[in-house]
Amino acid sequence: MRSESRGVLVTGASRGIGKEIARRFTDLGDIVISPSRDELDLASKESVSSFVANFDTEISILVNNAGINMVGSVDDYSSTDLENMIQTNLVSAFELSKLAVHSKGLKAICNVASIWSERSYPGRAVYSMTKSGLLGLTRGLAQDLGSRNVMVNAVSPGFIETEMTSANISQDRREELYKNIPLGRFGDPKGIANVVTFLCSSDNQYITGQNIIADGGFLS
Ligand code: NAI
């Protein structure tokens, strides 16, 4: 544990990858702020603006982890679904980054993207669009914040054992996928949390503007 605690804002920390990220920062002695859906609904522009307007804590680290994946072909997408995906996965990350940039002591921002930011798959066009957008935000912010020595990176998980995975992947598909993952298994949320905490730590001295793919070798 370090002597100095950092204020860490993590979205989507109620379960899955976000829960592990929050737990890992807490174990390191940081003060984790993980708003509930009532306090911050990322799908709602009003909720995000009100959260930002009322937020008065110094942020050292921001982790934009929350995300949704509504699988469907472009034809199936209503404009409401499209807006919901863009708002939740991308616009909210932009707004919270803007909030973090105003914190004088900001040290790092980490965006949780996806392997589907680098490649896509049938039914993932909108998800890929939002996650690729997150990489653009990551690179642009790294450029803007480099002079302040703020590290801005993305982590792109492959298939990780969470509720999102169970909801989107059938058992048959899972067996198929194992054959295409060099490590032969899905990942553990803890493995993603380790990468995120490293990128946001003082041990990371020179990695910024990058997308770190943690996928058991799937995209290799
Ligand atoms: P999950 O579905 O288990 O958890 C998502 C979290 O986001 C939950 O805490 C949920 O409450 C929160 N959230 C969703 N919509 C919200 C909203 N409108 N307002 C506030 N919070 C909201 O997801 P999981 O699997 O832990 O994924 C976390 C991140 O990792 C997501 O961005 C996801 O796209 C990404 N990812 C996950 C992969 C996986 O295999 N599980 C693979 C690649 C990327």
Predicted confidence (pLDDT) per residue in 199-219, tens digit: 999 999 999 999 999 999 999
For the chain, the first-to-last Cα distance in angstroms comes to 35
User: How many angstroms separate the CA atoms of 200 and 149, rounded?
Assistant: 12
Strand order in the sheet with 108-112: 31-33, 7-10, 61-64, 108-112, 151-157, 211-214
Specify the pLDDT at position 64. 99
- Percent with pLDDT over 70 in the chain: 99
pLDDT digits (tens, 9 = 90+) for 183-203: 999 999 999 999 999 999 999
Q: Are 39 and 211 in contact (CB under 8 A)?
A: no
Q: Name the phi and psi angles at 158, rounded to 5.
A: -85, -135
| Distance of CA 147 from the midpoint of ligand 1 (Å) | 31
Question: In the structure, which protein residues have their CB atom closer than 6 angstroms to any atom of ligand 1?
Answer: 11-12, 14-18, 37, 40-43, 65-69, 88, 112, 114, 157, 159-160, 162-165
User: How many angstroms separate the CA atoms of 79 and 62, rounded?
Assistant: 29
Our answer to whether residue 77 is catalytic in this structure is no
| Averaged pLDDT, 125-152 | 98
| Distance of CA 61 from the midpoint of ligand 1 (Å) | 19
Specify the pLDDT at position 62. 98
Strands (E), the chain: 7-10, 31-33, 61-64, 108-112, 151-157, 211-214
Specify the pLDDT at position 3. 61
Specify the pLDDT at position 168. 80
| Averaged pLDDT, 112-126 | 97
User: How many angstroms separate the CA atoms of 185 and 172, rounded?
Assistant: 14
Specify the pLDDT at position 166. 85
- Give, using CA atoms, the residue closest to atom 12 of ligand 1: 12
Least confident segment among 22-31, 94-103, 167-176, 192-201: 167-176
